[in-house]
Each structure stands twice: as C-alpha cells, then as structure tokens.
Structure 1
Amino acid sequence: MPSLAPLLLAFLASRVYADGTEQSEAALGPTQACAPYSYAPVTAAMTASKFPPIWQPVAGILSGDTAATSLFSSFSSSIPNIAPKGTLGVPDPNAQSKYPATDPDCWWTASTCTTPKASGVNPDVAAVPEPQTLGYGFDDGPNCSHNAFYDYLTQKNQKATLFYIGSNVMDWPLQAQRAVADNHEICVHSWSHRSMTAFTNEQAFAELYYTLQAIKLVTGYTPTCWRPPLGDVDDRIRFIAQKIGLYNVLWKYNSNDWEVSSGAATPAQVQANYDTLMNDAKSGKFSTSGAIILTHELNNYTMQTAIDNYPNLAAAFKYIVPVGVALNKTQPYVESNYTQKSFAQYTGTQPPTGGSSGSNSPGGSSGAAHPSSSGGPSSNSSSKTNTGQAAGSSVAVSVSPHFAALMSALFGLAGVLTSIL
C-alpha cells in the first residue's frame, strides 16, 4: 500500500510538537513552528489568572497578587513625582509640545537623554565600554519562526541579547526556551509593547513585573536587564524598573528596520543606517568604547537583514558580543546557577576559569571575534502580526538544518513502513 506513505509522513510531521520540548520546536520549519500550541505551565498559569491577558496593556496589579502588591508597595512612595505622558500605554499626542525644553524628566523620547536628572536613578546603557565592540541584540522576540535566524547565529558561534515581550513569551514558550538553550541573553521588553511613560506607576510596574514572571515561568530564569519599547523612558519609569532589579539598555544607532513593514522606511534607508554604523567602526570612532544598534527579531525582513549584514559587521568590529558580556555581567539572571562569560573569556583574550554558561544547557561556547562570512538558512512566513522568518534573497537554503534532518528521518521511516505495508 505505497499510497499510505505520504499520509503517514504528514501525520508524523504534524506530531513533532507531541513531546512539547524546546528541542522539538528547534527542529521545525516556519509553518509548523508558528502553528498555535499549548504548553502546560502557561495554560495552567493563564487558567488560574496569574497573568494579564496577552497583548493587552496591563491595567494594574492583578487581584489577589500579594507578592506583586508587596513589592510595589515597598518603593511606590519614593517614585519620582512625574505625571504619565499618556493613558494606558497610549501617548498623549501633545505631550512633547507641552514638555519643557529643560527636559526635567530626562525623557528619552523628547531629548534622547540617558543621564537621569532624578537623584538615585541609574544611567542608561546606550553604548558598550569595550573598544571596537558591538553590543549585539534584537527586540520583539521570541518570534515563532526564528529557527533559521537562530540557526545562523549558532553557525557563527554568535550570542546576542534578546529583548523579549511578555505576551510573546506566553504565546511561544518553546521558542523562548531556545534562547536559553543557545546561551543567548534574555532581557525584558514589557508585556504589551506600549509606550511606558504613558502608564501610571502601578501599570508600568505591572508591565515589567509580569514579563519577568513570564520569562521565569517559561525559562526558569529572571532577567536583570530591560529595554523600553520605542526607547520611551523617563526618570519615573527608570526608577520603577531599577527597583525591580532591571538596568535599562538603549542605543545610539538605530537601523529603523522595524519601520519597513509599515512603509515608514525603505530597505535602502535601513541599509544606509547599517552602513553608517559600519563606516563609523572602520573610521576608528569606536577606538575607546563600542556601540549598540537597535535591530529586531520582528519579521522575515528584519531577521534576514541581520543575516545579510552580519559578515560586514564582523569585518568592521573586532568583537561582536551580547550587551551583558560587554558590560562584564557574568550573572545575567537573578538565579545564581547560570553564568555567562566575561568579555575577556568570550572574546578569547582570557581562558575560562571554571564558570559555566548556562548550567542547565549544553555548555555555552564563546563567540568568535571574527566569524566567517558565509550565508545562513532561511524559511517561510508566519501568520502572527509580530512574527516572520529569515527567508532571504541572498540565502539559498529554504529550511533550517534541524528541520531538514528531521524530515529526512521521517521520510526514511515512511519508506520503511511503506515497504512493510
């Protein structure tokens, strides 16, 4: 009965997620990876109302959440007296025109201020201190179809800082787990990706707090870093984030890759932004300290553009490392059982001294200072609004190597069963 083989193959492929593991997710192509699935810990937590509705701006601390209430109450009276610049994450369109030119709040959106005016508030990280170094990272993950992109980073032995949205983590928990398995560094990027200065104190706290809890639930680790959506932060929001253990990562270079999908930017403009960064690196501008550029794990275009530009970035910079590595933050999470390499260890200028990168994952290798420049795999599109995959005009392979290996095995099994049947 040879005709059964295609049906059997389709059935087996549809069951790849049956074991519900990160390893099974990493083997999938984009169509399968972006099919909705359930993950028991997330389902149980959402059923028990331990998290806000996904993709909705958080209206406040959830009823009955005594831990969140206690934490917020411990510092709420000390929050800088700065009024919200909008309502429930939606900016007031007149806020900037009414805002004083003296920039009393160190409001980044109005002034790109990164040195707080309020007492006791830590400055932002907008560049890395290591010379000739790029602090490498991507916003808006985890993207359901990111396997080809993450496979490419793995091929290059390259780690990155990943700014994850809480709602995405709850939507795609296995994809979030891959970041830990691959020894990337995870940071917070809010729950609903709204303008943080347009929330009340409690709402802003909840946007960050429940994202921390989501990442902890799914990965087992609690981040210590965050990035505000659109860079929208002032001293009030900085203080709230600082009080729950988060330091703020911004940037001085912006690819504007996220604006292509809306038509607000063109691919040529995005490439020009990448080129500006690389030309500055080649000119010696980063001879005493490095840079951070804003890029995204948002969709096919942004991930493929990152792949296309990686070889030239590697040629322009001496080192490309996660932001935390450039800051020598060897403990990126609250939990002490996970460490990442120092800058010297990561770049090979100092041998490892026994610290492990990710004690629950396979070792964690250091990134190469000058990776090779070959292209990486690509894949197809997803239906999620904030998703997409690296498919790529300049990349010939159409699926991830994990997926190709899995399909090869399934074809082999189908062939054996066909011969029996």
Structure 2
Amino acid sequence: MKVLWCSLAAIAIHASVGLADNENRNILAVTSPAWLANVPTPTQGAVVTQYPKDDDIKIGSLKEGTYPIDLNKYPKPLKLPPTDHPEVQEALKHIDWSKVPQIEPRKIKNYIVDTSGYDSKSDPDCWWTASTCKKPKLSYIPEDIYACPQPGQWGLNYDDGPLRIWSHDEEKKKWQEPRFYNYMVEHGKQKATLFYIGSNVITYPEAAQRALSDGHTICAHTWSHKQMTTLTNEEIVAEMYWTHKAIKEVLGITPKCWRPPYGDVDDRVRSIVWQMGMSTIIWDQDSNDWNLYGTPARGKVAPETIDKHFQDWISKRVNKEDNLHGHITLQHENSNSTVSMAERWLPKVQEAFDVMPIHKCLNDPYPYWEQSWAYPTVDNPSPPLNAQDPNSPQKPGGSSGSPSTQSGQQQSVGSTTVSTTSGAEPYLRTFALYAAMVTLTLGLFA
C-alpha cells in the first residue's frame, strides 16, 4: 500500500514563512523510484555510504579517469536524450498520467521561453517563468521550496556542477573541481547543496564523489539543462531518468530534490517530477552570476554588478532590515567567473549569515531515498553516523523533518530500501503554530 510522503522540507519552509497551505493539500503519494532498481551502484569503498565525520573532510587533489564510467550506456552529454530507450520506456510506465495536466509544451523565442500570450495574472498553470508562481494550482503537488525559514539563514547552493574545464590549458583548468570544494573545506568545512547536471556527473565522476565525501547535499538538475516546460512529457521523464541513473551509478544515492534549469517549471513538469520522487527547489534571491562575462551563457554583466547584489544583501542583514525569513540564493559552479565570485563572497556571507545547506535549514535530514543517509539539521546538528539501517525496521516517531512517524513503514525497491510516511500532521501543527507566532509578532510592530 502506498502511503503519503509529503515533503516536510516544503512544509517547513512555507509554514514558517507564513505562506504554507500544504495542510489543506491532498499530496499525492510517491515512493522510491522502482525504475532505478537495476542501476548498478558503486563498488564497496569507491564512495562514502553515510554522512562523513568532520575529521575525514580534507583538502585534496583529484585524478581524472580513476573511476571510469561506460559513456556508451548513456545519451550524449548535454544533449536532449531520446525517449525510445527501453529504460526510459519503463520509467514512463510508473507515471500516473491522469495526474499530469494537459498543458502544451512552451515555445522558445530568441533562445528564451516565450511567455507572450500566456495569462500570467490568472496563471492557470502556476508557470514560474511567467509569474514566479511557487504554489501549484494542483492540490496534490507540494509547494516549491524557495527560502530558508529562519531570518539570518543562508541556504548555500550551486548549480551546474561538477565543474570540469575541457581544455589543455593548465591555467584554465585550475578553476575546475576540486578547487572550490577545497576552498569550502578551508573555510570552516562549509557544506552546500549542489544541483548536479547528470551529464557532468558521468564525465567527471571523481569530482561528484569528492563532493559527497565532503558532506555536501546532492540534488538533480536535469541531463541537458533545457527549459523543462518546452519539453514533451516523455522528454521530461528522459531528462530526469538519465540524471538519476548517473547519480545513482556514481554516488549510490537517489535524490529527492531537483531544480529546474532557469527556474522554468509549471504544474505539468512538477507533477511528472514529483511522481518520479523529487520536490522542486527554486530560490528567492538571484545573484545573476550566470550572466557574468565568461560564463556558458556568454553573459554581459560585469563582476561589480554581482558584487553589489551581495553587498546589498549583507548590508540589509547587518542593519537588521532583513528579518522576515532566510534565503536560498541562486549561484553556480560552471565557470572560472562564477567560481571566482563564489570564492570572493563566501567568507563575507559567512560573517553576516548562518550559512548551511538547504535541507539543514529546512530540518530535513533525509535528502535521499536511501535512509542510511542522515544529514545534520538545525534541530539535530549531530545525527548518528549509522542513522538508519536500511535492512531494519524504522523506529516510530522522529524529529521535525524526519520521514519517521508512528505508523512508518518500509518499502524495498530493488537495492534501495526506503521509508514512507502516513502523514505529516504533527509537523504541520508545529510549523503552523510557529507561523502564527511570527504573524502575531509582526503585527505588534506593524
């Protein structure tokens, strides 16, 4: 029997910001992706299998080619994958298409999604590109995650990794990973949420494995970085299938989180990806680093413009003008320009904010379907190293953000054993109470 897995991360963020309506949403049940059951996982010792000890996180180099992946088993990197592959066809069978709204794929005009002709005011499709809508019109899909709940929190995250520079120029290659991963180790062993492109994972698996061993949280960011609302239903499934397969084969994990490239998502895309086991994470602040000189987008923005964004955010926080909620700020690890910008501002952001991965600020210790992985959260900064034996029954109860409930059950799918839940009412009540307190406090000072 399928039981409800309601994204507690989404509940936490929206309720504590005072925007949530998930309590009144009949969230569609989803389970561990059965279509990944036959994907090979890393050999023993090739990659960490639980959250690392702090003492094991160290600066180090990488040697390309030490963990070879058979690229012939995958579509061409960064190209739209075909939909007629037998593995994709199998994944398509696991989608309840009656739950996917019949929305026509969007059109591209001058390299961007064409929003002309769409009624962004009524916004029937909750199309982020047209309206920045984050609350689906479909009641069975959870709201998008877009900010950290507590003022002063900074959900550190980077898109498009892991960065590999395809050049024989050693001066250029010095910017590729593990450069920035080493930088984060040097600066307090800082952890971040990394939204990985599947193509980059299979072409630079050693860097992806290094990130996981450093304690970073890995989420999906599609296979070819296309605008997702412009794709057919089958193409959306293919994008996410190959991304998940790459991550599982290289890292042995199955993320429950994804970010749409360019933020381009609507209820059709959300419904498909939610049924594939992933919550949607957007952002509430855009650094615009993607538009810098020297980025893959061939940007035209000078570094000084991006500097001003960061300085303004820091100044508002220091001057106590930023007290509503925390932030998830869009940044990238896709070029020397974005990495340089990240290095310049991380120490300053650390001084002004409480910097952490997104799931930590959401009090969600389980970003993957594999329950042997448990990450630190604000409420529980030191989870047990062997958090959950996937072969033993899960204990009832749990802290805020945990998928455990009194009626928690296990469901084994292939080589992945997962836990599902029968509801999130206790957490909803907790966060609803907090939201009411915040509202009352703000009212007193209005």
TM-score over 0.5 for the pair:
yes
User: How far apart in 2 are the matches of 1:293 and 1:331?
Assistant: 21
Counterpart residue identity of residue 99, structure 1: Y
* Structure with the largest fraction of helix: 1
Name the structure 1 match of 2:104.
Answer: 83
Counterpart residue identity of residue 354, structure 1: P
The match for 2:314 among 253, 257, 278 is: 278
CA contact (8 A) 2:375 2:383 kept: no
User: How far apart in 1 are the matches of 2:245 and 2:90?
Assistant: 11
CA contact (8 A) 2:92 2:234 kept: no
In the TM superposition, residue 208 of structure 1 has moved relative to its aligned partner by 1.1
Name the structure 1 match of 2:177.
Answer: 146
**Runs ≥4 in structure 1, deviation > 6 angstroms?**
20-23
Range 98-107 or range 326-335, more displaced: 98-107
Name the structure 2 match of 1:407.
Answer: none
Counterpart residue identity of residue 101, structure 2: P
User: How far apart in 2 are the matches of 1:91 and 1:326?
Assistant: 38
In the TM superposition, residue 249 of structure 1 has moved relative to its aligned partner by 0.9
The match for 2:384 among 344, 351, 354 is: 354
Name the structure 2 match of 1:99.
Answer: 118
Structure 2: give runs of 5+ residues left out of the alignment.
1-44, 49-58, 165-175, 390-446
Name the structure 1 match of 2:276.
Answer: 244
Counterpart residue identity of residue 376, structure 2: K
CA contact (8 A) 1:183 1:358 kept: no
Range 272-281 or range 91-100, more displaced: 91-100
In the TM superposition, residue 95 of structure 1 has moved relative to its aligned partner by 2.9
Name the structure 2 match of 1:71.
Answer: 94
SS of 1:81's equivalent in the other structure is coil
SS of 1:162's equivalent in the other structure is strand
SS of 1:129's equivalent in the other structure is coil
CA contact (8 A) 2:88 2:241 kept: no
Per-residue CA deviation, residues 369-403 of structure 1 (Å, 9 max, x unaligned), is xxxxxxxxxxxxxxxxxxxxxxxxxxxxxxxxxxx
In the TM superposition, residue 275 of structure 1 has moved relative to its aligned partner by 1.6
Name the structure 2 match of 1:380.
Answer: none
In the TM superposition, residue 119 of structure 1 has moved relative to its aligned partner by 2.6
Counterpart residue identity of residue 313, structure 1: V
CA contact (8 A) 1:135 1:326 kept: yes
Greater Cα radius of gyration, structure 1 or 2 = 1
In the TM superposition, residue 52 of structure 1 has moved relative to its aligned partner by 2.1
Closer/same/farther in 2, CA of residues 39 and 91 from structure 1, 3 Å limit = farther
User: How far apart in 1 are the matches of 2:231 and 2:179?
Assistant: 36
CA contact (8 A) 1:92 1:198 kept: no
**Within-5 A mapping of 1:252-291:** 252-260=284-292, 261=294, 262-291=298-327
Counterpart residue identity of residue 345, structure 1: N
Closer/same/farther in 2, CA of residues 177 and 118 from structure 1, 3 Å limit = same
Q: Does 1:158 align with 2:190?
A: yes
User: How far apart in 2 are the matches of 1:250 and 1:214?
Assistant: 22
CA contact (8 A) 1:130 1:289 kept: yes
User: How far apart in 1 are the matches of 2:319 and 2:205?
Assistant: 42
Q: Does 1:334 align with 2:369?
A: yes
Range 271-280 or range 206-215, more displaced: 271-280
SS of 1:140's equivalent in the other structure is strand
Q: Does 1:108 align with 2:123?
A: no
Structure 1: give runs of 5+ residues left out of the alignment.
1-19, 347-351, 360-421
Closer/same/farther in 2, CA of residues 91 and 236 from structure 1, 3 Å limit = farther
Counterpart residue identity of residue 371, structure 2: S
User: How far apart in 1 are the matches of 2:250 and 2:270?
Assistant: 25
Closer/same/farther in 2, CA of residues 185 and 58 from structure 1, 3 Å limit = same
Name the structure 2 match of 1:345.
Answer: 380
CA contact (8 A) 1:133 1:286 kept: no
Counterpart residue identity of residue 127, structure 2: W
TM-score, normalisation: structure 1: 0.70
Closer/same/farther in 2, CA of residues 64 and 231 from structure 1, 3 Å limit = closer
Q: What is the RMSD computed on CA atoms of the aligned residues?
A: 2.7
Percent identical: 36
TM-score, normalisation: structure 2: 0.67
In the TM superposition, residue 22 of structure 1 has moved relative to its aligned partner by 7.3
CA contact (8 A) 2:107 2:113 kept: no
In the TM superposition, residue 65 of structure 1 has moved relative to its aligned partner by 4.8
Q: Does 1:228 align with 2:260?
A: yes
User: How far apart in 2 are the matches of 1:229 and 1:266?
Assistant: 22
Closer/same/farther in 2, CA of residues 301 and 192 from structure 1, 3 Å limit = same
CA contact (8 A) 1:282 1:316 kept: yes
Closer/same/farther in 2, CA of residues 130 and 64 from structure 1, 3 Å limit = closer
